Amino acid sequence: MQTLTGKYRIFSGLRTTWPWLLVLSALLYACQETGNAEKKLPSYDEQARNAVLLPLDSFTNTPLIQQRVAEIRQALTLPIPVLLCNDSLGGPQQMAQMLALRDTGFARHLKNPASGKPYRNEIFGVYPARQSDLVTVKLPYTLQSTYRVEMYNYALNMTSVAMVDVDRQQVLTSYIIEDVQPDVSGYLKDLAVKIAVEAPEVQQALGIKPSEKEALMASTKTALNRSRCERSRHLCVAPTFVKGDKALWAIIDLTDHRLVGIRWTTVGEPGTAVPLLTEKKLQDDKITSCYCEVEQPLKKNSWEMKYMLTSSDGLRISDVQFNGQPVLRSAKLVDWHVSYSGTDGFGYSDAVGCPYFSQAAVVAWEIPKVAELRDDQQRVIGFVLEQTYRSEGWPTPCNYNYRQRYEFYNDGRFRVACASIGRGCGNTGTYRPVFRIAFSGEQNSFYEYKENNWQQWQQEQWQQQGSLTSYTPEGFQYKIGSGGKGYFIEPGRGQFGDGGRGDFSWVYVTRHQAGRDEGENDLVTIGPCCNTDYHQGPDKFIEPGPEDIMQSSLVVWYVAQMRNDDRKGNEYCWAENVLEDGVWRTKAYPCFAGPMFVPVKN
């Protein structure tokens, strides 16, 4: 079990799926300059490429934030669990906010009706009322003693508004506006600026630690306005720092009190509209410009490869070498087939890939992540290259979250894996990810462990992992290679310590021939959602006339099967929201699958 905040928290205290394997986050912050990009990118792309995205699980632990978090937690224990406005309010304004809180309409959403747990609500402002605020008010009032109280609900992303006449001690009217954030308070603006100024990323970009006075609050408007973090549904503002003809935008998440990312933009002519730079745009632009347009090189430990995000085949690695020896031509995640039992063939074939101009239904949410793999002794044993894809509404029903992961070990092993983190359209879903793994070498042969022996496959074919499947004592089912070199293939049987419960996989082997594209390039959707047999797509490259595959260039297709489960204590491929500190956090139960490749030792 992992706890997500709509995001990945590797070291969450709630995590239970890594009994022996620990992953240390070590993000690639910016695009690596490859020098081999052929396309001359426009300046917009340059700015997107140079943007810095912080990991979604990042947080700052300054005394200021600690104090803020303590105040939030304290407020949530109050009978009326509301953070009062921290700005300097006059007495009548103080009274207005207290009276508003006693209005059942205004205070309708202070607690979750099911659990009784408090939502994080905060009064952002108490302003003198304008005549236009009171057009629908039928009660008598005095404009001079009437105030507009605005409260934000962080969990539900809604604003409560009350018009309060303090002389009459009366709430004249109150209403709720969904999906709208009020203007943030002066206190929160100051907090955002302090977070921005203290952020090393901001200081590095500017070349100096800016003063708080230099920050312009680009989000400030005179009316109810939109948060900059429309994607995570967090409350964000964007302090900017102008330097010459450019402005550095720092998007600050005021729900989690962290820097989301920074990006330079060109300052427009005076009077021109302020460009809208949002969390989603920051992320999508960066992902597209850095990882969808160009291949990125990765050289780490004894491994070397290139990787990039595809239109519909997820994160593709290519030209993979270990100790200078070719291992893979490429590997990628072609499809996710999701079917729901008992629903008459209902389901989806999801492709994962780039956010812009792609055939992906579930798009990359973060930039690819590179992190160290450590064992339980904290020794570095390899690294992981990981990509997250998400639907905007996850984990609400019929939204998806997929994770693709390549693990590379210092001893030459590697693993091609993925996970679904639910939640999908029901609790009867079966996920079938389709991997395509193309091995280097033109003389490879493929073997199956059967009847205590390695038996060679002569022709293209497929086989399903089942209860009668034979494994070597080490757990290997297949072997691929030539001349005594190659890799054992160890399908998932729940042994990898990531919570996986077995892959029940189909393995297909096809022959690769130069000049004939059987998925070497980006594959459109390869198979339907809901077949429950081997017709998952790769079979179309085998049937009707399978080719010889002895001493050939081979492609291994691996289709795992994971069945979701929402039963308490048994959750799998599942996610649910829980209230934590007054906001929704996601408790995730990923189902990992994928084979391990172990070098054949002479």
For position 179 contacting other proteins by CB under 8 A, the verdict is: yes
For position 469 contacting other proteins by CB under 8 A, the verdict is: no
Query: Binding other proteins by CB under 8 A: which of 27, 84, 331, 370?
Result: 84
CB 519 within 8 A of CB 561: no
- Tell how strand 216-217 and strand 583-589 pair up: unpaired
Query: Binding other proteins by CB under 8 A: which of 89, 287, 434, 509?
Result: 89
For position 273 contacting other proteins by CB under 8 A, the verdict is: yes
- CA gap 321, 326 in Å, rounded: 4
For position 387 contacting other proteins by CB under 8 A, the verdict is: no
For position 358 contacting other proteins by CB under 8 A, the verdict is: yes
- CA gap 503, 202 in Å, rounded: 44
Given the complex with other proteins, which of 102 and 379 has the nearer CB atom?
A: 102
Stretch that binds other proteins, among 1-9, 74-82, 297-305, 487-495 (CB under 8 A): 74-82
Least separation, in Å, of the C-beta of 20 and other proteins? 37
For position 399 contacting other proteins by CB under 8 A, the verdict is: yes
For position 31 contacting other proteins by CB under 8 A, the verdict is: no
Query: Binding other proteins by CB under 8 A: which of 284, 490, 498, 565?
Result: 284
Query: Binding other proteins by CB under 8 A: which of 177, 224, 524, 578?
Result: 524
Given the complex with other proteins, which of 175 and 357 has the nearer CB atom?
A: 357
- CA gap 245, 367 in Å, rounded: 28
Given the complex with other proteins, which of 144 and 169 has the nearer CB atom?
A: 169
- CA gap 220, 509 in Å, rounded: 58
Name 161's bridge partners: 150, 175
Tell me the CB-side half-sphere exposure of residue 320, using CA atoms within 13 A: 24
For position 90 contacting other proteins by CB under 8 A, the verdict is: yes
Least separation, in Å, of the C-beta of 434 and other proteins? 12
- CA gap 267, 279 in Å, rounded: 19
128 contacts: CB under 8 Å, gap ≥ 6:
144, 146, 147, 148
Integer angstrom CA distances of residue 592 from 12, 23, 121, 154, 389: 18, 15, 37, 32, 14
Query: Binding other proteins by CB under 8 A: which of 169, 458, 459, 570?
Result: 169
Number of residues that bind other proteins (CB under 8 A): 63
Least separation, in Å, of the C-beta of 355 and other proteins? 6
SS3 state of residue 10: coil
For position 94 contacting other proteins by CB under 8 A, the verdict is: yes
Could you tell me the sign of the dihedral formed by the alpha carbons of 589, 595, 599, 602, in that order? positive
CB 185 within 8 A of CB 86: yes
Query: Binding other proteins by CB under 8 A: which of 280, 493, 501, 540?
Result: 280
For position 235 contacting other proteins by CB under 8 A, the verdict is: no
Question: E strands of 301-428, at which residues?
Answer: 303-309, 315-322, 325-340, 346-350, 352-353, 362-364, 369-374, 380-390, 400-409, 414-423
User: Which residues in 204-233 contact other proteins (CB under 8 A)?
Assistant: 226, 230-231
For position 187 contacting other proteins by CB under 8 A, the verdict is: no
For position 464 contacting other proteins by CB under 8 A, the verdict is: no
CB 529 within 8 A of CB 537: no
For position 288 contacting other proteins by CB under 8 A, the verdict is: yes
Paired tokens of 521: 């390039």
For position 162 contacting other proteins by CB under 8 A, the verdict is: no
Given the complex with other proteins, which of 308 and 371 has the nearer CB atom?
A: 308
Query: Binding other proteins by CB under 8 A: which of 59, 92, 137, 576?
Result: 92
SS3 state of residue 50: helix
- CA gap 117, 583 in Å, rounded: 10
Stretch that binds other proteins, among 2-10, 160-168, 380-388, 586-594 (CB under 8 A): 160-168
Stretch that binds other proteins, among 29-37, 96-104, 124-132, 431-439 (CB under 8 A): 96-104
SS3 labels along 171-216: EEEEEEEECCECCCCHHHHHHHHHHHHHCHHHHHHHCCCCCHHHCE
Query: Binding other proteins by CB under 8 A: which of 78, 143, 224, 380?
Result: 78
Given the complex with other proteins, which of 95 and 197 has the nearer CB atom?
A: 95
Could you tell me the sign of the dihedral formed by the alpha carbons of 336, 339, 345, 346, in that order? negative
- Tell how strand 258-266 and strand 246-253 pair up: antiparallel
Stretch that binds other proteins, among 95-103, 123-131, 235-243, 494-502 (CB under 8 A): 95-103
Tell me the per-residue interface mask from 292 to 321 with other proteins, x by CB under 8 A, - otherwise. Answer: -x-----------------xx---------
Query: Binding other proteins by CB under 8 A: which of 18, 59, 187, 356?
Result: 356
- CA gap 377, 354 in Å, rounded: 37
Tell me the per-residue interface mask from 118 to 157 with other proteins, x by CB under 8 A, - otherwise. Answer: ----------------------x-----------------
Query: Binding other proteins by CB under 8 A: which of 123, 129, 156, 166?
Result: 166
Integer angstrom CA distances of residue 107 from 95, 122, 542: 15, 11, 63
Given the complex with other proteins, which of 166 and 217 has the nearer CB atom?
A: 166
Given the complex with other proteins, which of 78 and 380 has the nearer CB atom?
A: 78
Give the Cβ contact number of residue 268 at 10 Å: 12
Measured in residues, the chain has a length of 602
Given the complex with other proteins, which of 177 and 524 has the nearer CB atom?
A: 524
For position 520 contacting other proteins by CB under 8 A, the verdict is: no
Closest CA to 219 of 259, 179, 192: 192
| Measured torsion, CA atoms of residues 527, 529, 531, 532, in degrees rounded to the nearest 10 | 120
Paired tokens of 129: 């009322």
Least separation, in Å, of the C-beta of 584 and other proteins? 17
CB 226 within 8 A of CB 208: no
Least separation, in Å, of the C-beta of 374 and other proteins? 35
SS3 state of residue 442: coil
Stretch that binds other proteins, among 210-218, 348-356, 561-569, 576-584 (CB under 8 A): 348-356
- Residues contributing to the site for other proteins (CB under 8 A): 39, 77-80, 84, 89-92, 94-95, 98-99, 102, 140, 165-170, 179, 226, 230-231, 273, 276, 278, 280-281, 284, 288, 293, 311-312, 346, 348-351, 353-363, 391-393, 398-399, 521-522, 524-525, 527-528
